[in-house]
Amino acid sequence: MKKPYLIIPAALLILSAVSVFNVQAQDYRSQRETMVRTQIRARGINHGPTIKAMRNVERHLFVPAVRRNRAYEDNPLPIGHGQTISQPFIVAYMTQLVNPGAGDKVLEIGTGSGYQAAILAEIVDEVYTIEIIAELGESAQKLLKELNYDNLEVKIGDGYYGWKEHAPFDAIVVTAAAEYIPPPLVEQLKDGGKMVIPVGSPFMVQNLMLVEKKGERITTRSIMPVTFVPFTRKE
Ligand code: SAH
């Protein structure tokens, strides 16, 4: 026969572990609500689907465990391999700029933690994302699968060439700073499609550019100064 004086403390232990977990989940939820209110809406983001996605995606799961308590701060955070997860506002801003909608197909260059890809996958039909650092791409892929994003594919490789098999795209989001706009990405944009890309020298202030394709015409507009990690190339 089992001894009740052992079962009761064990049950209490499990109950308190569950409630600590709940308190923590609640706490992250309220931090996320505050982030959306003070960093996203207060700064003029008004695209409904973007706001909803920023509210839904659990950003703390995309940062290394030791930085989880800082996940909802108003800044980028290191994710290893010298790379960063972008500041929440920048993620929302870039998302809103390409005006994604249900039914769209989007390409992201620079998977990193997978956070921007998850935000896009909440909004559109299909997301394709490319990461050049295998370890980052693989861990993002694992996490995104665990979170049941089955409308999303991760590829390890040099995003310079885009992803021809799935082109053309309604939108392309580049999250690393390139010296110039890669021509294959412009080619893989749909007629009427939009691309957002930071352009400029690495480790300096770059320009966030909005590229739009209308028939044969390509227009580029400089939106605001930003600082991103460099767009690197495979040797
Ligand atoms: N979107 C990411 C931000 C990651 S930082 C997030 O939400 O976390 C930019 C990422 O771009 C880095 O992980 C870097 O390794 C990757 N990168 C740089 N050059 C690349 C290239 N040519 N192709 C694909 N990924 C690239």
Nearest alpha carbon to residue 79 among 97, 52, 61, 106: 61
195-233 confidence digits (pLDDT tens): 999 999 988 899 999 999 999 899 999 999 999 999 999
Q: Examine the residue annotation and report whether 139 is marked as an active-site residue of this protein.
A: no
Q: Look up residue 127 and give its amino acid.
A: V
Q: What is the set of domains in the chain, with CATH numbers?
A: 75-226 (3.40.50.150)
Sequence-ordered list of residues with C-beta below 8 angstroms from that of 24, at least 6 positions apart, any chain: none
CA dist 19 and 58 (Å) reads 19
Give CA–CA dist 166/183, Å, rounded.
Answer: 16
Ligand 1 centre and the CA of 229: distance in Å? 8
Instruction: Please write the tens of the pLDDT for every residue from 124-145.
Output: 999 999 999 999 999 999 999 9
The rounded Å distance from CA 212 to ligand 1 centre is 22
SS3 154: strand
Q: How far apart are CA 120 and CA 125, in angstroms?
A: 9
CA of 85 relative to ligand 1 center, distance in Å: 9
Q: What's the CA-to-centroid distance between 113 and ligand 1, angstroms?
A: 9
Q: What are the pLDDT digits (tens) for 185-198?
A: 999 999 999 999 99
Q: Closest residue (by CA) to atom 11 of ligand 1?
A: 110
- Decide: helix, strand or coil at residue 130: strand
User: In the chain, what percentage of residues exceed pLDDT 70?
Assistant: 90
In this structure, the residue with its CA closest to atom 17 of ligand 1 is: 110
Q: How far apart are CA 168 and CA 3, in angstroms?
A: 66
Distance CA 205, CA 174 (A): 16
Task: Give the lowest-confidence range in 18-22, 118-122, 211-215, 231-235.
Answer: 18-22
How far is CA 226 from each of CA 74, 75, 176, 199, rounded to the nearest angstrom? Answer: 14, 12, 11, 9
| Residue 181: exposure state from Cβ atoms within 10 A (0-12, 13-18, ≥19) | middle
**What percent of the residues of the chain are helix, what percent strand, and what percent coil, each to the nearest 5?**
45, 25, 30
In short, whether 193's Cβ falls inside 6 Å of ligand 1 is no
Contact between 113 and 62 under an 8 Å Cβ cutoff? The reply is: yes
Q: Is the pLDDT of residue 16 over 80?
A: no
pLDDT at 202: 84
List the residue whose alpha carbon is closest to atom 14 of ligand 1.
110
Query: What is the SS3 string spanning 159-222?
Result: HHHCCHHHCCEEEEEECCEECCCCHHHHHCEEEEEEEEEEECCCCCCEEEEEEEEECCEEEEEE
Is 158's C-beta closer than 6 angstroms to any atom of ligand 1? yes
CA distance 182 to 200: 12
pLDDT band at 234 (very low <50, low <70, confident <90, very high): confident
User: Which one is catalytic: 86, 113, 139, 222?
Assistant: 86
Please tell me the residue having the least CA distance from ligand 1 atom 2. 112
Which two tokens mark 131?
Answer: 């990461």
Could you tell me which of 181, 180, 199 has the C-alpha nearest to residue 189? 181
Q: What is the 8-class DSSP label of residue 230?
A: B
